[in-house]
Amino acid sequence: MTETIIVLGSNGQIGTELVMNLRAKYGNNQVIASDIRTTDNAAINSGPFELVNVLDKDNLHQLFEKYPPTQVYLLAAILSAVGEQKPKLAWDLNMNGLINVLDLALEFKIPKVFWPSSIAVFGPHSPKENTPQFCVMDPNSVYGFSKLAGERWCEYYHAKYGLDVRSIRYPGLIGWRSEPGGGTTDYAVNIFHEALANSKYESFLSADTALPMMYMEDAIRATIELMEAPASKLTIRSSYNLGGISFTPATLSAEIKKHLPDFEISYADSDPRQAIADSWPNSIDDTFAQRDWGWKQKFDLASMTADMLENLKK
């Protein structure tokens, strides 16, 4: 079957890399990038692009009529840090954008939908270490509870209407091709840029704040592998835990120092993102992803750091 794939929110951190990878796999014209704004990013502009606001259902309807999709990836979202500054907007976009797409997926009989969740669905009473797939979840950021509610909607549309919607709870994502936008884990990307440009970085998270992270190459591969897995194998229709690499700003900076001995890290006195990070897990158990669709992570802290620095130096 020839695929027609629409990526909504294509210009962000994940979208940019996902569009590149999907175009390499399915052909440039088969992957329609779309966002609320245009971009000068060559990867996005290497194939069809449409301006779309996911909160405008008519707009989405026209897009799905123009390119009847076989797969839709909904990536448009407001992340954790910006979500605390604009709570109502974050709720509106993260929730109503999803419901618009789920409804239209039923109307257009779209075979597969992907929607990203996050480690932000966990909260202060969730187990901190090796956080399991199923446990107490009491997220206290707007982003976190919008993602948790979104997971419930995905599972509901699957159970009630048979919609094939698939999801991953992404850890913090680290890549050299695209910049993060407004998250709590952004320090782990910014640090590489600053280390190379200025040999120093002030972390907004404290030295010992451990968070689950993942190299973008692994995250994109996980996304495509999940979308290619036989539906019959998938037992989780809320969102799959994905473990990644767990590290602190101190361990990341020690790893960077192995390559850039002059690099120095310092720590901000206080930052609102610290409270969000403190409510999230230190590490994640992803047994279900391993068992159901054979997930296997490739990059560890050492190989991710070496690859980031090598590519950013080019």
Residue ranges binding ligand AKB (CB under 6 A): 79-80, 118-120, 143, 170, 172, 183-185
Active site residue 143: yes
Min dist. Cβ of residue 162 to ligand AKB (A): 28
Q: What residue spans of the chain are helical by DSSP H?
A: 13-26, 57-66, 80-85, 87-91, 97-107, 142-161, 187-198, 216-228, 249-259, 272-278, 287-293, 301-313
Main-chain phi, psi angles of 95, to 5 degrees: -95, -55
- Any bridge partners for residue 50, and if so which? 34
Q: Which is nearer to ligand AKB, 64 or 122 (CB)?
A: 122
Q: Which is nearer to ligand AKB, 9 or 172 (CB)?
A: 172
Taking only Cα atoms into account, the Rg of the chain, rounded to an integer number of angstroms, comes to 19
Q: Give the span between the Cα atoms of 3 and 114, in whole angstroms.
A: 14
* Cα atoms in the 13 Å half-sphere on the side-chain side of 291: 10
Cβ density class 35-54: b for 16+ within 10 Å, e for less: bbeebebebbebbbbbebbb
Min dist. Cβ of residue 161 to ligand AKB (A): 27
Q: Does residue 235 sit in helix, strand or coil?
A: coil
Q: Which is nearer to ligand AKB, 64 or 114 (CB)?
A: 114
Of all residues in the shown chain, the one whose CB is closest to ligand AKB is: 183
The whole-angstrom distance between residue 157's C-alpha and the CA centroid of its chain comes to 21
Min dist. Cβ of residue 47 to ligand AKB (A): 26
Nearest to 27 by CA among 5, 49, 50: 5
Q: Which is nearer to ligand AKB, 23 or 147 (CB)?
A: 147
Catalytic-role residue among 67, 143, 187, 201: 143
Q: Give the span between the Cα atoms of 277 and 97, in whole angstroms.
A: 25
Min dist. Cβ of residue 59 to ligand AKB (A): 26
Min dist. Cβ of residue 144 to ligand AKB (A): 8
Annotated catalytic sites, by residue? 143
